[in-house]
């Protein structure tokens, strides 16, 4: 089933472990270099920029092949446009297999072909059935196969999206059950995915798929939050069930959803610190931010700028307080930098984010801009600020 | 996950890549169960600064008629002074080398102060036109102040504000969101200005490296310079007088290619290849346009995969060379 040589994949895992150890200053540069040069490896690009570059080149290649193919066969296939799409999927498959045989893995080129093949295939299915349900089923199946055979992490995500799409389609279009249950079905799906993740993760044999498992977990956490988020539920029930929320009224079970909107992120954060799970902590923080946005969206109790100032101060107090508390702790949860943390990376990243946030363009009185500076969270201060 | 990591280390020990003493050290470290919230808390702090200054900015803007100018200016100025008072108190003073505050919180205080300072200057100009009718001077003034703060407190965040302000003085907005709707494309003279600014930034970085003045700022400078020069050259290549930009583009690509090899910095390497490739393709299209190949367009589309495969092979070679050198540097 696996398209790659298993020893080489295991070597990849060993080298990435060695890299982690080097970053944590346990082993020397020589040892890392030795590991990386002596073990036979696959063709992969560790750097994400290089990988994206090759991904783009791979997409160019695929589309140029598509273009020449079209010119060659267009006169023959005039009335069978979906056949052409299947052909493209086959081209993608051939390219993917060729690259896998040449040991290209996590290289960018292989990503381009695996994804292009899938897009062409789903497009072909969609065109020939003229319905979305078969497309979602195809996504679940093909995504899973690609994930298992090519160890392709994003395909795991495609498979998960396929599940969500399938359930959504079944409930809203095929009327399998009342639309009212949609949030709970989504939540159950999230729990199901998390259970599957847990089961697979506890089996040491699956360590080669650790990235795909990581995606599975992140997806289940995010899905679990958004399936019961008040804003999502309210907007969906308005558009799907035709519920009109009047002044002073609310959607059914509003209180439950309000509660869950805040409870789930807090649960994530608490559990993540208990279990020392960085990814869950991040998801918790981000979803908590979105919860505040949700509340703010429906209840404008204070002007925005006051919220910003108060929020800024509150956040400052929380962060500052946490630093004070953790400052002298040497074990467990601490404020001490990780052995592997690279402070220049954070500093450079912040410097570049600053460039996206600050707007120090001169202001001309005509467009009524009173000042030039001032960052703004999220979207960045635009000119109308 | 931890179990897997232990197994991997066990295998590395078996194959002789990691010594047993090191393994023992790793085990002892893992027993501590350290879970560092350093990055997360610092980032929350950073976010709080952005929220707060964003709020102050909006407040000033909305209440511009009701609060009275002096009050706004006074509050803004007072906050700024407070920020800088504590920063100066804790600062270790100016040094040509990298100096960090003992507590990283002061970095963010410096940042808050600088943003408030820019708001202050902008407001002063808006209300009292202290710099006369030339609004560009405001940016220049902000840039000078920010450069001063950045060099004194060793703050890369303020440095990037300073460079942005300098670019604004020239007339260019360099933020990622404006790249595609950039004025450079509608106002050709700007691409010359941008080019000059980019070259100046490069020269300044070379000079700083030579005299050992805050050498670690090179990453911020070079990043700005590379994108400024690259985007201006692409914009220039699309103009009528494009021939001037061909040597410029070639020079810039070559320079950053060499720099990336020198500094082993992958981002410069990747972007120099990307700008080079985009530039080359623009030239190819111009060439095709010039000798009018529309009659054989079918043929060109047919052979285009060969061209793409050729370039992929070339890029794979270049990346392999680069990685070889980078790994050699590891040894």
A340 pLDDT more than 70: no
Q: What is the DSSP string of A251-262?
A: -TTHHHHHHHHH
- Last residue of a domain, which of B171, B199, B223? B171
B contacts of A296 (beta carbons < 8 Å):
none
* Chain B residue with Cα closest to A278: B35
More confident residue, B241 or B284: B284
Q: How far apart are CA B299 and CA B287, in angstroms?
A: 16
What percent of chain B stands above pLDDT 90?
Answer: 20
Averaged pLDDT, A160-177? 90
CB B164 within 8 A of CB B174: yes
Output A143 or A12, whichever has higher pLDDT.
Answer: A143
Q: Do A33 and B59 touch (CB under 8 A)?
A: no
Of B37, B50, B270, the CB nearest to A326: B37
- The DSSP annotation for B1-64 comes to -HHHHHHHHHHHHHTTSS-HHHHHHHHHHHHT--EE-HHHHHHHHHHHHHHHHHHHHHHHHHTT
CA nearest neighbour of A105 among A139, A140, A36, A54: A54
pLDDT of residue B91: 84
Chain centroid offset of residue B310 CA: 32
Comparing CA positions, the residue from A202, A328, A248, A50 lying closest to residue B3 is A202
Taking only Cα atoms into account, the Rg of chain B, rounded to an integer number of angstroms, comes to 26
Q: What is the DSSP letter of A43?
A: B
- C-alpha–C-alpha distance, residues B279 and B227, integer Å: 13
Looking at beta carbons, which residues of chain A come within 8 Å of B40? 281-282, 285
Section A347-363 average pLDDT:
58
pLDDT category, A69, cuts 50, 70, 90? confident
Candidate ranges A329-338, B200-209, B259-268; pick with highest mean pLDDT: B200-209
Distance from CA of B308 to the nearest CA of A (A): 6
**A323, A330, A376: residue with CB nearest B54:** A376
Q: Is the domain of B153 the same as that of B49?
A: yes
User: What distance in Å separates the CA atoms of residue A104 and residue B221, rounded to the nearest whole number?
Assistant: 35
pLDDT at A342: 62
Q: Residue B321 falls within a domain, yes or no? A: no
* Beta-carbon count within 10 A of A54 CB: 23
Does residue B245 lie within any of the structural domains? yes
Round to whole Å and give the CA distance between A196 and A140: 15
- Residue pair B52/A316 in contact by the 8 Å Cβ criterion: yes
User: Is B124 in CB contact (< 8 Å) with chain A?
Assistant: no
Is the same domain home to B93 and B143? Answer: yes
Contact A72 B122 (CB under 8 A): no
| Of A28 and A80, the one with more pLDDT | A28
Contact assessment for residue A116 and residue A92, using Cβ atoms and an 8 Å cutoff:
yes
Nearest to A116 by CA among A85, A81, A145: A85
Taking the C-alpha atoms of residue A36 and residue A29, their distance in angstroms, rounded to an integer, is 11
Sequence-distant (≥ 6) Cβ neighbours of residue A295 within 8 angstroms: A230, A261
Instruction: Round to whole Å and give the CA distance between A129 and A127.
Output: 6
Chain B closest-CA separation from residue A244 CA (Å): 34
Residue-level pLDDT at A7: 83
In a domain, B31, yes or no: yes
**Does B7 contact A14 at a Cβ distance shorter than 8 Å?**
no
Cβ-based contacts of A311 with chain B (< 8 Å)? 48, 51, 55
Cβ of residue B179 closer than 8 Å to a chain A Cβ: no
Same domain, B10 and B80: no
The parent domain of residue B110 ranges over 40-171
Tell me the pLDDT tens digit for each residue of B257-281.
Answer: 999 988 888 889 999 999 999 999 9
Please check whether residues B18 and B114 belong to one and the same domain. Answer: no
Whether residue B219 sits in one domain with residue B159: no
**Looking at beta carbons, which residues of chain A come within 8 Å of B298?**
71
Q: Residue A372: which of B142, B216, B330 has the nearest Cβ?
A: B142
Find, among A273, A257, A272, A249, the residue nearest to A225 by Cα: A257
Residue A384 pLDDT: 34
Q: Is the pLDDT of residue A385 over 60?
A: no
Chain A contacts in chain B segment 245-284 (CB below 8 A): 266-267, 270-271, 273-274
Q: Look at chain B and report how many structural domains it folds into.
A: 3
Q: Which has the closest alpha carbon to A66: A54, A45, A84?
A: A84
Q: How many CB atoms lie within 10 A of CB A215?
A: 20
Residue A265 has pLDDT above 90, yes or no: yes
- Are B44 and B29 in the same domain? no
Contacts of A146 (CB under 8 A, 6+ apart): A114, A118, A152, A155, A158
Average pLDDT over residues A204-231: 90
For residue B185, the distance in angstroms to the closest alpha carbon of chain A comes to 18
How does pLDDT run across B210-255, given as a tens digit for each residue? 988 888 899 999 999 999 899 888 888 888 788 888 999 999 999 9
How many CB atoms sit inside 10 A of residue A68's CB?
18
Nearest to A319 among B36, B48, B163 (CB): B48
Contact B309 A61 (CB under 8 A): yes
Quick check: A68 and B270 CB within 8 A?
no
The answer to whether the Cβ–Cβ distance between A381 and B49 falls below 8 Å is no
Enumerate the domain spans of chain A.
354-385
Q: What is the nearest CA distance from B239 to chain A, expressed in angstroms?
A: 25
**What is the full DSSP assignment across A68-127?**
HHHHHHTTTTTT-HHHHHHHHHHHHHHHHHHHHHTTB-SSSHHHHHHHHHHHHHHHHHHH
**Is pLDDT larger for residue A48 or for residue B67?**
A48
Which pLDDT score is estimated for B178?
53
Specify whether B111 is located in the same domain as B229: no
Helix (H) or strand (E) run with residue B186 in it: helix B183-186
Which spans in A244-365 are helix H?
254-275, 278-298, 304-326, 343-357
Which among A347, A365, A369 has CB closest to B156? A347
Indicate whether B5 and B110 sit together in one domain.
Answer: no
Q: Does B317 touch chain A (CB under 8 A)?
A: no
- In chain A the first and final C-alpha atoms are separated, in Å, by 56
Mean pLDDT of A239-264: 83
Q: Which of B171, B206, B225 is the last residue of a domain?
A: B171
Instruction: Give tens-digit pLDDT for B41-88.
Output: 888 888 888 888 888 878 777 776 676 777 778 888 888 998 899 888
A110: closest CA of chain B, how far (Å): 12
Query: Which SS3 state, helix, strand or coil, does residue A35 take?
Result: helix
Task: Count CB pairs under 8 A between chains A and B.
Answer: 333
Query: Cβ–Cβ of B45/A354 closer than 8 Å?
Result: no
Residue B113, judged by CB atoms within 10 A of its CB (0-12, 13-18, 19+), counts as buried
Cα separation, A144 vs A146, whole angstroms = 5
B163 and B46 in a single domain? The answer is yes
> CB distance from B175 to chain A under 8 Å?
yes
Residues B228 and B292 in one domain: yes
For the record, the structure tokens of A351 come out as 């410097």
Compute CA distances B52 → A299, A307, B33, B36, whole Å: 21, 9, 35, 26
pLDDT tens track for A118-141: 999 999 999 988 889 999 999 999
Residue-level pLDDT at A149: 92
Tell me if B1 is assigned to some domain. yes
Contacts of B279 (CB under 8 A, 6+ apart): B233, B234, B237, B246, B249, B250, B253
B161: in domain: yes
Q: Is B267 in Cβ contact with A362 (below 8 Å)?
A: no
In this structure, the answer to whether residues B30 and B50 fall within a common structural domain is no
**Beta carbons of A97 and A3 less than 8 angstroms apart:** yes
Judge whether residue B16 has pLDDT over 80: no
pLDDT at A67 over 60: yes
Domain presence at residue B235? yes
What is the arithmetic mean of pLDDT over A50-77?
A: 86
Domain presence at residue B177? no
For residue A379, which of A284, A303, A299, A293 has the smallest C-alpha distance? Answer: A293
* Closest partner CB to B8 (pick from A17, A37, A315): A17
Q: Kindly state whether B34 is in contact with chain A, defined as any CB-CB distance less than 8 angstroms.
A: yes
Calculate mean pLDDT across residues B174-180: 52
The answer to whether the CB atoms of B50 and A375 lie below 8 A apart is yes
Contacts of B61 in chain A (CB under 8 A): 369-371, 385
Q: Are residues B60 and B107 in the same domain?
A: yes
What span, in angstroms and rounded, lies between the C-alpha atoms of B150 and B144? 10
B226 contact A CB<8A: no
CB within 8 Å: B135 and A362 = yes
Say if the Cβ atoms of A373 and B118 lie within 8 Å.
yes
Which one of B41, B139, B156 has the shortest CB-CB distance to A322? B41
Question: Which chain A residues are closer than 8 Å to B141 by Cβ?
Answer: none
Helices and strands (H, E) in chain A, number of each type: 14, 1
Maximum mean pLDDT: which of A282-286, A375-379, B188-192: A282-286
Q: For B130-170, write each residue's pLDDT tens digit.
A: 777 676 788 888 899 999 999 999 888 899 989 988 888 87
- Cα distance between residue A331 and residue B35, in whole Å: 8
The rounded distance, in Å, linking the Cα atoms of B119 and B54 is: 10
Q: Which chain B residue has the Cα nearest residue A32?
A: B17
- A326 CA to chain B: closest CA distance, Å? 9
Q: Report the residue from A13, A330, A344 with minimal CB separation from B8.
A: A13
What the block records as the tokens of A294 is 């949700």
Q: Which positions in chain A touch B123 (Cβ < 8 Å)?
A: 370-371
Interface of B with A in 205-224 (CB under 8 A): 216, 219-220, 223-224
For residue B179, the distance in angstroms to the closest alpha carbon of chain A comes to 11
What is the percentage of chain A residues whose pLDDT exceeds 70? Answer: 86
Residues of chain A neighbouring B267 (CB-CB closer than 8 A): 49
Smallest Cα distance from B176 to chain A, Å:
6
Cβ atoms A143, A162 nearer than 8 A: yes
Strands (E), B264-307: none
């Amino acid at each position: 089933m696996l398209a790659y040589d298993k020893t080489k994949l295991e070597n990849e895992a060993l080298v990435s472990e060695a890299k982690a150890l080097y970053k944590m200053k346990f082993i020397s540069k020589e040892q890392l270099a030795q590991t990386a040069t002596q073990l036979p490896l696959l063709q992969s690009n560790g750097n994400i920029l290089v990988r994206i570059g090759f991904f783009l080149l791979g997409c160019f290649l695929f589309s140029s092949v598509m273009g020449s193919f079209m010119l060659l066969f267009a006169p023959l296939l005039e009335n069978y446009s979906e056949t052409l799409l299947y052909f493209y999927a086959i081209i993608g498959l051939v390219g993917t297999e060729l690259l896998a045989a040449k040991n290209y893995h996590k290289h960018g080129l292989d990503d381009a072909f695996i994804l292009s093949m899938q897009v062409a295939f789903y497009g072909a299915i969609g065109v020939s059935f003229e319905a979305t349900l078969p497309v979602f089923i195809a996504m679940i199946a093909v995504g899973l196969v690609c994930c298992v055979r090519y160890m392709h992490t994003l395909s795991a995500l495609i498979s998960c999206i396929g599940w969500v799409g399938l359930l959504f389609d079944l409930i809203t279009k095929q009327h399998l059950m009342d639309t009212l249950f949609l949030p709970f079905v989504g939540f159950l799906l999230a729990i199901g995915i998390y259970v599957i993740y847990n089961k697979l993760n506890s089996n040491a044999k699956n360590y080669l798929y650790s990235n795909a498992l990581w995606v599975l977990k992140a997806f289940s956490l995010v899905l679990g939050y958004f399936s019961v988020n008040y804003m999502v539920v309210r907007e969906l029930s308005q558009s799907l069930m035709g519920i009109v929320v009047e002044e002073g009224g609310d959607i059914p079970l509003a209180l439950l959803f309000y509660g869950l909107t805040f409870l789930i992120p807090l649960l994530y954060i608490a559990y993540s610190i208990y279990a020392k799970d960085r990814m869950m902590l991040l998801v918790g923080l981000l979803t908590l931010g979105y919860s505040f946005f949700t509340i703010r969206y429906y209840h404008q109790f204070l002007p925005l700028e006051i919220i910003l100032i108060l929020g800024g101060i509150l956040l400052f107090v929380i962060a500052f307080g946490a630093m004070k508390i953790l400052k002298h702790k040497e074990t467990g949860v601490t404020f001490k930098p990780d052995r592997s943390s690279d402070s220049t990376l954070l500093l450079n990243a912040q410097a570049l984010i600053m460039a996206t946030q600050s707007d120090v363009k001169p202001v001309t009185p005509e467009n009524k801009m009173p000042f030039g500076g001032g960052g703004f969270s999220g979207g960045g201060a635009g000119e109308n600020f | 996950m931890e179990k897997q990591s232990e197994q991997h280390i066990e295998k590395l020990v078996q194959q002789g890549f990691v010594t047993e003493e090191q393994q023992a050290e790793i085990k002892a470290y893992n027993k501590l169960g350290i879970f560092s919230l350093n990055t997360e808390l610092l980032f929350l702090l950073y976010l709080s600064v952005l929220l707060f200054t964003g709020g102050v900015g909006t407040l000033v803007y909305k209440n511009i008629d009701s609060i009275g100018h002096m009050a706004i200016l006074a509050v803004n100025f007072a906050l700024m002074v407070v920020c800088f008072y504590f920063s100066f108190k804790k600062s270790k003073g100016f040094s040509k080398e990298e100096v960090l505050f003992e507590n990283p919180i002061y970095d963010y205080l410096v940042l808050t102060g600088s943003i408030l300072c820019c708001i202050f200057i902008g407001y002063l100009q808006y209300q009292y036109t202290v710099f006369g009718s030339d609004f560009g001077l405001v940016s220049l003034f902000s840039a000078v102040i920010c450069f001063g703060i950045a060099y004194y407190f060793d703050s890369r965040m303020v440095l990037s504000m300073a460079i942005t302000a300098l670019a604004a003085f020239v007339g260019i907005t360099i933020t990622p969101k404006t790249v595609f709707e950039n004025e450079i494309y509608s106002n050709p003279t700007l691409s010359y200005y941008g080019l000059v600014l980019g070259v100046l930034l490069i020269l300044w970085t070379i000079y700083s490296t030579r005299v050992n003045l805050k050498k670690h700022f090179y990453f911020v400078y070079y990043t700005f310079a590379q994108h400024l020069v690259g985007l201006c050259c692409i914009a220039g290549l699309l103009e009528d007088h494009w021939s001037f930009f061909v040597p410029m583009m070639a020079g810039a690509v070559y320079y950053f290619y060499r720099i990336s090899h020198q500094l082993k910095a992958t981002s410069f390497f990747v972007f120099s290849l990307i700008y080079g490739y985009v530039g080359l393709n623009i030239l190819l299209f111009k060439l095709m346009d010039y000798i009018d190949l529309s009659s054989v367009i079918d043929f060109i589309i047919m052979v285009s995969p060969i061209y793409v495969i050729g370039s992929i092979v070339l890029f794979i070679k270049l990346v392999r060379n680069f990685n070889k050198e980078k790994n050699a540097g590891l040894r």
